[in-house]
Structure 1
Amino acid sequence: MKDKQQIEQYLYQAIPLAQAMAVRVVAAEEGRVELEAPLEPNINHCATVFGGSAAAVATLAGWLLVYRTLQALGLRGQVMVRRSQMDYQKTMHGAFTARTLPVNEAAWQRMAAALSKGRMARLTLVVNVECAGQQAGRLEGEFVVLPLS
């Protein structure tokens, strides 16, 4: 899957909530994922972005980064969220993005080594959430990859 549209379709199939939230893939390249979502399907009673939607899109960005990196490394496994913490910094009044921050190469190597030994791999990453060009939130998540039997 190299094309953004193909990646988006896979995301909709694998995690149907992504389609309901109208998530769009802005970038999904080596070491970086950026997703965008509009206000309308993610709106709350105050006419701002629902906090759960912001956390979900940030989690999707992290999940997709791990999934795509596994593909690039020729590895297979089941990607799951183990733990996450979302900090909200500003109210969002419109479309918003979730962008993964770079992950240390050594962390990817540890993940690959664990999977190659048939063990569960762990990876912590950070995703920034922005609205109107300003940081509005930050998710720190621990993702695990379970080896396929």
Structure 2
Amino acid sequence: MLPSELEADLHANIPLTRAMQVRVLDIAADSVRLGAPLAPNINHHGTVFGGSLATLATLAAWSLAHLKLRRAGIDCSLVVGAIHMDYLAPAEGDVSARSSLAEPDNWPHVLETFARKGKARIPVLAEVDHDGRCVARFKGDFAALAR
């Protein structure tokens, strides 16, 4: 999938991504990087709203799990199971979030579990950056569920 296709998919199916002006910056085999500008995500302090940081990180993590499942030929429902955010510093401008699997060596087991049970847990990490520094960290679990 091309970045422009994923971006169109996000904007069509998750309206909040349009309001936040989320952009797909990069798709790699084991990561997805999304970006968002300050203006539509600004808070009363003139920094990026914490909810926008959490949303951008969640979207980057969900996108990675979605694309990895799709590449494996799995059509399923993918939902958030749990998330944890650590906010490290204010973001005073545009931000980007890069996701990665929390347990990359466990990916074959995820696929095997889904094939056997029709469901699997996918732990994903994401870091949100502003101006070259990490401002927030995300850790979450997604559930892949057979349709």
- TM-score by shorter chain over 0.5: yes
CA deviations 1:14-35 (Å, max 9, x no partner) are 2111111000001122111000
Q: d(CA) in 2 for partners of 1:114 and 1:9?
A: 30
* Aligned counterparts, 1:1-149, within 5 A: 2-148=1-147
Q: d(CA) in 2 for partners of 1:107 and 1:22?
A: 33
Q: 1:102 Cα deviation (Å)? A: 4.4
Letter in 2 for 1:91: P
Q: d(CA) in 1 for partners of 2:75 and 2:109?
A: 15
Secondary structure (helix, strand or coil) at the match of 2:93 reads coil
Letter in 2 for 1:71: R
Give me the CA root mean square deviation. Answer: 1.2
Runs of 4+ residues over 2 Å off in structure 1 = 101-107
Secondary structure (helix, strand or coil) at the match of 1:82 reads strand
Report the TM-score when normalising by structure 2.
0.95
Q: d(CA) in 1 for partners of 2:95 and 2:44?
A: 17
Change in CA separation of 1:86 and 1:105 when aligned onto 2, cut-off 3 Å? closer
| Amino-acid identity (%) | 35
For structure 2, which runs of at least 5 residues remain unmatched after alignment? none
For structure 1, which runs of at least 5 residues remain unmatched after alignment? none
Contact 1:82–1:143 (8 Å) recurs in 2: yes
Contact 1:107–1:123 (8 Å) recurs in 2: no
CA deviations 1:39-85 (Å, max 9, x no partner) are 01100011100000000000000000000001111111111111001
Q: d(CA) in 2 for partners of 1:105 and 1:90?
A: 28
Letter in 2 for 1:79: L
Report the TM-score when normalising by structure 1.
0.94
